[in-house]
């Protein structure tokens, strides 16, 4: 089972020994992890079923013209409607482009996931974090980091501790950290440095597996069935359906979560990652996990990175749930993207 | 103990060949001439024929990857050829003869005088770039390539001469080639993610809120107290920002 | 007592002057200035003025436009000023100091323009002579070495005996060098005169100087007929332009066959070999710029003295 394999990587180093036994939160004994596994696998299998259903719904395969724009000239490709993704387009160009592209840009104004099927003829551009103006790929990267943190947090804790993911706010790189809010069934828990380091390691391990971010937009019923064990998500879904027809969900490995997207191409695009700290939000009774990461290939010396880590330790007050109303209203920059989702 | 290289024989000339005029090369010219692996033809003639193949390939493809030391030797000859062509032009019979001998494909002689000479006319730097290339590539599975004549790996390992050795590789390219650059430009991008993070951190710590931030040992759990610098006085700011 | 600065004493000299001896590794360190100590030419594209394809406007970094480029033909007149391009022994500081010393010597005596094949009279100081001067006339068959150890070999046949004297041009015991016949020959040296009839090497010791009216140095295209073997050197191996074709009659067929095997038709295409054996033009220009004013002044001074 894929989940088990990743845990074997953790246990190979041997058992962790913490100074304070009651802070032993990181999961090591995996025979008890079946409930968590079950829940994740259930969502994942529902995701698979929905994905297959949508694939079958395509019917007759039509062709669309995709014009790939790059610095070295344009390339016209004939791709399959509702089946071919921008990643498939990179297979006609080069492996390097497919591996390094963070997100695609359709018709020069709409960010598009690399593994999201294209539905009409368009012009396509591949964006990287090393571009001249990397605003879109940077935010995509930041959002994906929060998502991956969710994947890590759900699996990291012992099974007698309940972990219910709340949400993660829209990416704000200026705040200095990417953020995830979750309910952890622990009272006044302050993570030990080893535990935070272990979480960072998990992120890196997830990155090494180079799992793609799969996207699906589903109906309310399917979404509610998937997240039936998560009251926060049910609440979100109903709020989303106040404004839109469908919910956009993403999957990485076995972890499925709601996000408007877009997400980066695959988890391997993370280079350095540090989960810096956890803060307890009293009003929401949530733990706010904060971290900082750099994309692969971005070099930064250890002192400067240390400054970023230290800043990420401080409470990131961007969109604390109780203060901001989590209404799923898109910010103006994503207005065009949100329009597409609602169509 | 590393033995010094033997001093090469001093050439039997009385003094520099003053009658010949050459342009200075802008690449490091090694005094020790590297011996190359023996080809069909032995001796210095065979060496030149091997180098001729490399130089022809370089002019044809404008970026080639080969063994490091032969590439280093070929680089000198390529630079010399271009230097002679830039200096004398196609009218000079000696230069034309040289180009004709060195470039096995005759279309490359045309390329030299019509394309490369105008390109390199005013170059103050060398005409080629030379880098160290990886010994082998990840796509080969972290293994050096087997000898093609003996694809069976066992045989390769038993016969020392045909063992799967990896020799250092070099990447030789003509400057101004149409391919994407090997190394990305080193221009710092203020919008790249690390710069965005750093500049926002700087702004944060300069602000009142940041200046008063202190990390207590217990909360962070890391035992490090970070004390940011106090923001400097106004006199160091430029006029416009006051 | 040698006036020239040996490599060892140079080191002492430099230490006395307080500067370190600069050593070049086996890498070409021909750099833009002769006192530069960099081991490899510095990239000139570091000031950020290259465009993305590496192109730049060519700037004459070594000489400004106002200064005239020196006449490169002067290099034949002062060949010992140019160092041997043997990279391992090159030392820019040593070369600069040597040139300084050479110019200082040239200020004292006139070292005229001559070539291999010219007939010279040389006056040496000799304590054992009644007038303290010993004189020798001969044809210059060789010009060797560079710098302060530049030497010439003069050959003459005196009393049916071939006599050769090797002299250093910058030897302080040299009192006078007079060119009796200024001409060039087809070969870089005339050592084959040792195996030629004495007529080719005989010059009267009281020879009067030939007056050369033309501006150009005449080229003597004489082809020497050698004596039968044995020879001091294998003259047949190298294609000497100054040796007559009749040399073929003097060698066996076996030797002729060997000679064919020794031919290296690829050598003229060996661009790097010729590069390593020559000084680049830029360097010659630098050296000439350094010396030309001084040598012009010396020439004027010595010609005034003569007239």
A52 domain residue, yes or no = no
Q: How many domains does chain C have?
A: 1
Span C191-198, average pLDDT: 97
Least confident of A29-38, A61-70, A266-275: A29-38
What lies within 8 Å, CB to CB, of B27 at 6+ separation is: B75, B76, B79, B126, B128, B130, C41
C189 domain residue, yes or no = yes
Q: Which residues of C touch B33 (CB under 8 A)?
A: 272
**Is B195 in CB contact (< 8 Å) with chain A?**
no
Confidence at residue B216, expressed as pLDDT on a 0 to 100 scale = 41
Confidence at residue C88, expressed as pLDDT on a 0 to 100 scale = 83
Confidence at residue B156, expressed as pLDDT on a 0 to 100 scale = 54
Where is the domain boundary, A109, A133, A157? A133
The full DSSP string for A242-311 is HH-S-EEEEEETTEEEE------SBGGGEEEEEEEEEEEETTTTEEEEEEEEEETT----HHHHHHHHHH
pLDDT (tens digit, 9 = 90+) per residue, A309-328?
999 999 998 888 877 654 44
**Is B200 in CB contact (< 8 Å) with chain A?**
yes
Tell me the CA end-to-end span of chain B in Å, nearest whole number: 65
Do residues A224 and A90 share a domain? Answer: no
Pair of tokens at residue B200: 């926002």
Any idea what the Cα angle at residue A206 is, between residues A201 and A211, rounded to 5°?
Answer: 170
Q: Which residues of C touch B77 (CB under 8 A)?
A: 271-272
C256 domain residue, yes or no = yes
pLDDT at residue A105 is higher than 80: yes
Q: Which residues of A touch B191 (CB under 8 A)?
A: 132-135, 138
Q: Which residues of B touch A295 (CB under 8 A)?
A: 193
Domain range spanning residue C169? 73-306
Assess whether chains C and A touch, using the rule of 3 or more C-beta pairs within 8 angstroms. Answer: no
- How much helix, strand and coil, in percent to the nearest 5, is found in chain B? 45, 5, 50
Residues A20, A224: Cα–Cα separation, whole Å: 39
**% chain C with pLDDT above 70:** 78
Span C232-255, average pLDDT: 94
What lies within 8 Å, CB to CB, of A27 at 6+ separation is: A7, A33, A155, A156, A157, A158, A159
Residues A82, A66: Cα–Cα separation, whole Å: 12
Whether residues A308 and B198 touch (CB distance < 8 A) is answered with: yes
Whether residues B192 and A175 touch (CB distance < 8 A) is answered with: no
Is C243 strand, coil or helix? strand
pLDDT at residue C29 is higher than 60: no
Q: Which residues of B touch C272 (CB under 8 A)?
A: 29, 33, 73, 76-77, 80
pLDDT (tens digit, 9 = 90+) per residue, A213-246?
999 999 999 999 999 999 999 988 888 877 778 8
Confidence at residue B77, expressed as pLDDT on a 0 to 100 scale = 97
Confidence at residue A243, expressed as pLDDT on a 0 to 100 scale = 76
In which residue are the tokens 């510095």 written?
A: C42
Residue A123 belongs to domain with CATH number? 3.10.20.30
Q: Do the Cβ atoms of B131 and B171 come closer than 8 Å? A: yes
A57 domain residue, yes or no = no
What lies within 8 Å, CB to CB, of B60 at 6+ separation is: B105, B108
- How much helix, strand and coil, in percent to the nearest 5, is found in chain C? 35, 15, 50
Where is the domain boundary, A133, A165, A183? A133
Whether residues A314 and B213 touch (CB distance < 8 A) is answered with: yes
Domain range spanning residue A285? 135-325
**% chain C with pLDDT above 90:** 67
Whether residues B30 and C144 touch (CB distance < 8 A) is answered with: no
- Chain A from 39 to 78: CB within 8 A of any B CB: 72
Do residues A312 and A253 share a domain? Answer: yes
Residues A106, A122: Cα–Cα separation, whole Å: 6
A6 domain residue, yes or no = no
Span B138-163, average pLDDT: 56
Residue C122, H or E segment? strand C119-125
Q: How many domains does chain A have?
A: 2
Span B103-124, average pLDDT: 96
Its CATH class, for the domain covering B18-138+164-174, is: alpha beta
Whether residues C271 and B76 touch (CB distance < 8 A) is answered with: yes
Whether residues A308 and B224 touch (CB distance < 8 A) is answered with: no
What lies within 8 Å, CB to CB, of B88 at 6+ separation is: B94, B95
pLDDT at residue C12 is higher than 80: no
Residues B212, B230: Cα–Cα separation, whole Å: 9
Is A112 strand, coil or helix? strand
pLDDT (tens digit, 9 = 90+) per residue, C69-110?
888 989 999 999 999 888 888 999 999 999 999 999 999 999
C271 domain residue, yes or no = yes
Neighbours of B23 (CB within 10 A): 17
Residues C57, C63: Cα–Cα separation, whole Å: 15
Confidence at residue C40, expressed as pLDDT on a 0 to 100 scale = 33
Q: Which residues of B touch A142 (CB under 8 A)?
A: 193
C109 domain residue, yes or no = yes
Where is the domain boundary, A81, A113, A133? A133
Q: Nearest Cβ partner of A292 from B197, B222, B226? A: B197
pLDDT (tens digit, 9 = 90+) per residue, B47-86?
999 999 999 999 999 999 999 999 999 999 999 999 999 9
Whether residues B15 and C283 touch (CB distance < 8 A) is answered with: no
Alpha helices in chain B (DSSP H): 43-61, 68-88, 93-102, 106-111, 117-120, 153-158, 193-206, 208-211, 217-220
**Who wins on pLDDT, B124 or A7?**
B124
Which of A191, A311, A316, A318 to mutate to probe the B interface, most B CBs <10 Å?
Answer: A311
Confidence at residue C64, expressed as pLDDT on a 0 to 100 scale = 46
**Who wins on pLDDT, A32 or C53?**
C53
Which of B8, B11, B123, B124 to mutate to probe the C interface, most C CBs <10 Å?
Answer: B124
Least confident of B34-43, B122-131, C266-275, C282-291: B34-43
Whether residues B16 and C43 touch (CB distance < 8 A) is answered with: no
Pair of tokens at residue C210: 């030939």
Nearest of C143, C72, C157, C159 to residue C111 by alpha carbon: C143
Alpha helices in chain C (DSSP H): 7-17, 92-108, 247-250, 253-262, 271-276, 281-306
Residues A225, A219: Cα–Cα separation, whole Å: 10
Confidence at residue C89, expressed as pLDDT on a 0 to 100 scale = 84
A42 domain residue, yes or no = no
Q: Nearest Cβ partner of C76 from B18, B25, B124? A: B18
pLDDT at residue A159 is higher than 80: yes
C206 domain residue, yes or no = yes
What lies within 8 Å, CB to CB, of A278 at 6+ separation is: A189, A190, A191, A196, A287, A288, A289, A290
Under 8 Å CB pairs connecting chains A and B tally to 68
pLDDT at residue C51 is higher than 60: no
Whether residues C277 and B21 touch (CB distance < 8 A) is answered with: no
A183 domain residue, yes or no = yes
CA-based nearest residue in chain A for residue B180: A72
Tell me the CA end-to-end span of chain A in Å, nearest whole number: 37
Q: Nearest Cβ partner of A176 from B189, B192, B200? A: B200
CA-based nearest residue in chain B for residue C26: B31
Q: Nearest Cβ partner of C72 from B21, B27, B125? A: B21
Do residues A264 and A251 share a domain? Answer: yes
Pair of tokens at residue A85: 């993704």
C43 domain residue, yes or no = no
User: pTM, whole model, 2 decimals?
Assistant: 0.61
Span C236-262, average pLDDT: 94
- Neighbours, chain B (3 or more CB pairs < 8 A): A, C
When pLDDT is cut at 50, 70 and 90, the band that residue C27 belongs to is: very low
Residues A178, A311: Cα–Cα separation, whole Å: 12
C171 domain residue, yes or no = yes
Q: Nearest Cβ partner of A192 from B184, B196, B221? A: B221
Residues A144, A142: Cα–Cα separation, whole Å: 5
Do residues A142 and A93 share a domain? Answer: no
Nearest of B64, B37, B65 to residue B145 by alpha carbon: B65
Do residues A226 and A177 share a domain? Answer: yes
Residues A161, A27: Cα–Cα separation, whole Å: 10
C7 domain residue, yes or no = no
Whether residues B73 and C272 touch (CB distance < 8 A) is answered with: yes
Whether residues C53 and B25 touch (CB distance < 8 A) is answered with: no
Do residues A158 and A83 share a domain? Answer: no
When pLDDT is cut at 50, 70 and 90, the band that residue B3 belongs to is: low
Q: Torsion over CA of B179, B180, B185 and B191, rounded to 10 degrees? A: 150
Which of C45, C169, C272 to mutate to probe the B interface, most B CBs <10 Å?
Answer: C272
Strand order across the beta sheet in which A214-218 lies: A214-218, A247-252, A255-258
When pLDDT is cut at 50, 70 and 90, the band that residue C214 belongs to is: confident
pLDDT (tens digit, 9 = 90+) per residue, B175-234?
999 888 898 777 888 999 999 999 999 999 988 776 666 444 334 444 444 455 555 455
What lies within 8 Å, CB to CB, of B136 at 6+ separation is: B142, B143, B144, B145, B166
Beta bridge partners of A73: A70
Under 8 Å CB pairs connecting chains B and C tally to 143
Q: Which residues of B touch C42 (CB under 8 A)?
A: none
Neighbours of C164 (CB within 10 A): 16
Whether residues B17 and C87 touch (CB distance < 8 A) is answered with: no
The full DSSP string for A174-194 is GGTSEEEEEEES-SS----HH
Beta bridge partners of A34: none
Confidence at residue C265, expressed as pLDDT on a 0 to 100 scale = 93
Span B31-45, average pLDDT: 88
Whether residues C28 and B30 touch (CB distance < 8 A) is answered with: yes
Q: How far is A100 from chain B (nearest CA, A)?
A: 14
Q: Which residues of C touch B15 (CB under 8 A)?
A: 79-80, 82, 84, 143-146
Whether residues B222 and A313 touch (CB distance < 8 A) is answered with: yes
User: Helices then strands (H, E): number in chain A?
Assistant: 10, 12
Give the burial class of A124: count Cβ atoms within 10 A of its Cβ; 0-12 exposed, 13-18 middle, 19 or more buried.
buried
When pLDDT is cut at 50, 70 and 90, the band that residue C182 belongs to is: very high
Residues C234, C224: Cα–Cα separation, whole Å: 15
Residue C290 belongs to domain with CATH number? 2.30.30.790
Pair of tokens at residue B172: 């030789």
Give the burial class of B176: count Cβ atoms within 10 A of its Cβ; 0-12 exposed, 13-18 middle, 19 or more buried.
middle
Do residues A124 and A141 share a domain? Answer: no
Do residues A250 and A305 share a domain? Answer: yes
């Amino acid at each position: 089972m894929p989940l088990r394999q990743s845990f074997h990587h953790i246990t190979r180093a041997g058992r962790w020994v913490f100074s304070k036994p009651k802070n032993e939160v990181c999961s090591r004994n995996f025979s008890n992890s079946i409930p968590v596994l079950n829940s994740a696998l259930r969502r994942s299998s529902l995701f698979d079923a929905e994905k297959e259903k949508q694939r079958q719904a395509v019917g007759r395969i039509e062709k669309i013209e995709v014009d790939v724009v790059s610095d070295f000239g344009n390339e016209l490709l004939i791709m399959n409607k509702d089946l071919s993704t921008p990643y498939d387009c990179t297979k006609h160009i080069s492996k390097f482009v497919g591996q390094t592209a963070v997100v695609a840009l359709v018709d020069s104004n709409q960010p598009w996931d690399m593994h999201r099927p294209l539905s009409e003829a368009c012009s396509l551009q591949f964006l990287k974090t090393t571009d001249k103006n990397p605003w879109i790929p940077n935010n995509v990267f930041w959002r994906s980091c929060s998502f991956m943190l969710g994947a890590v947090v759900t699996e990291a804790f012992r099974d007698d501790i309940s972990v219910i993911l709340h949400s993660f706010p829209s990416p704000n790189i200026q705040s200095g950290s990417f953020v995830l809010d979750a309910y952890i069934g622990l009272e006044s828990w302050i993570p030990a440095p080893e535990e935070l380091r272990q979480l960072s390691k998990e992120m890196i391990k997830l990155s090494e597996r180079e799992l793609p971010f799969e996207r699906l937009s589903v109906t309310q019923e399917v979404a509610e069935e998937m997240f039936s064990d998560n009251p926060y998500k049910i609440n979100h879904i109903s709020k989303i359906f106040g404004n839109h027809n469908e919910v956009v969900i993403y999957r990485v490995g076995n972890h499925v979560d709601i996000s408007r997207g877009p997400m980066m191409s695959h988890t391997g695009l993370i280079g350095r990652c540090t989960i810096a700290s956890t803060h307890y939000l009293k009003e929401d009774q949530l733990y706010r996990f904060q971290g900082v990461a750099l994309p692969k290939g971005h070099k930064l010396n250890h002192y400067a990175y240390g400054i970023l880590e230290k800043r990420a330790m401080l409470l990131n007050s961007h969109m604390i749930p109780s203060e901001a109303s989590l209404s799923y209203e898109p910010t103006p920059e994503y207005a065009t993207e949100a329009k597409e989702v609602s169509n | 103990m590393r033995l010094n290289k033997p001093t090469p024989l001093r050439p039997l000339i009385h003094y520099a060949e003053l009658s010949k005029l050459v342009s200075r090369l802008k690449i490091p010219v090694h005094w020790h001439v590297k011996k190359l692996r023996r080809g069909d033809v032995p001796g210095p003639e065979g060496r030149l024929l091997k180098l001729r193949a490399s130089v022809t390939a370089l002019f044809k493809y404008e970026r080639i990857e080969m063994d490091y030391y032969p590439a280093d030797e070929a680089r000198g000859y390529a630079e010399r050829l271009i230097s002679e062509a830039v200096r004398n032009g196609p009218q000079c019979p000696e230069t034309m003869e040289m180009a004709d001998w060195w470039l096995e494909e005759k279309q490359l002689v045309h390329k030299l005088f019509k394309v490369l000479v105008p390109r390199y006319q005013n170059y103050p730097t060398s005409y080629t770039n030379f880098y160290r290339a990886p010994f082998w590539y990840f796509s080969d599975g972290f293994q050096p390539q087997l000898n093609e004549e003996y694809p069976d790996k066992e045989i390769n390992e038993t016969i020392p001469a045909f063992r799967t050795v990896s020799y250092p590789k070099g990447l030789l390219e003509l400057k101004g080639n149409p391919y994407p650059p090997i190394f990305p430009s080193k221009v710092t991008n203020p919008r790249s993610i690390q710069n965005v993070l750093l500049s926002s951190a700087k702004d944060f710590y300069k602000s009142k809120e940041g200046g008063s931030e202190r990390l207590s040992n217990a909360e962070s759990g890391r035992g490090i107290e970070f004390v940011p610098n106090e923001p400097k006085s106004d006199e160091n700011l430029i006029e416009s920002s006051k | 007592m040698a006036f020239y600065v040996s490599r060892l004493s140079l080191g002492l000299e430099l230490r006395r002057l307080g500067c370190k001896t600069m050593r070049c590794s086996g890498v070409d360190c021909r750099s833009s200035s002769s006192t530069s100590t960099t081991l490899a030419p510095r990239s000139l594209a570091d000031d950020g003025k290259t465009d993305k394809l590496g192109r730049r406007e060519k700037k004459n970094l070594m000489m400004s436009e106002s200064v005239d480029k020196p006449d490169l033909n002067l290099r034949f007149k002062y060949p010992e000023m140019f160092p041997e391009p043997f990279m391992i022994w090159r030392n820019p500081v040593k070369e600069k100091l040597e040139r300084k010393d050479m110019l200082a010597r040239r200020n004292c005596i006139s070292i005229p323009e001559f070539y291999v094949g010219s007939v010279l009279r040389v006056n040496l100081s000799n304590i054992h002579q009644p007038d303290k001067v010993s004189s020798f006339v001969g044809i210059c068959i060789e010009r060797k070495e560079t710098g302060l150890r530049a030497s010439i070999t003069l050959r003459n046949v005196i009393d049916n005996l071939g006599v050769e004297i090797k002299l250093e041009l910058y030897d302080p015991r040299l009192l006078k060098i007079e060119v009796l016949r200024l001409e060039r020959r087809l070969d870089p040296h005339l050592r084959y005169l040792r195996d030629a009839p004495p007529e080719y090497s005989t010059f009267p010791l009281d020879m009067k100087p030939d007056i050369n009216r033309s501006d150009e140095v005449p080229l003597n295209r004489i082809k020497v007929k050698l004596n039968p073997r044995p020879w001091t050197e294998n003259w047949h191996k190298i294609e000497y332009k100054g040796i007559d074709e009749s040399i073929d009659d003097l060698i066996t067929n076996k030797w002729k066959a060997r000679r064919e095997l020794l031919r290296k038709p690829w050598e003229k295409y060996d661009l790097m070999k010729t590069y390593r054996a020559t000084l680049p033009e830029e360097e010659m220009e630098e050296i000439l710029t350094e010396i030309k004013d001084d040598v012009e002044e010396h020439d004027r001074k010595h010609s005034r003295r003569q007239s």
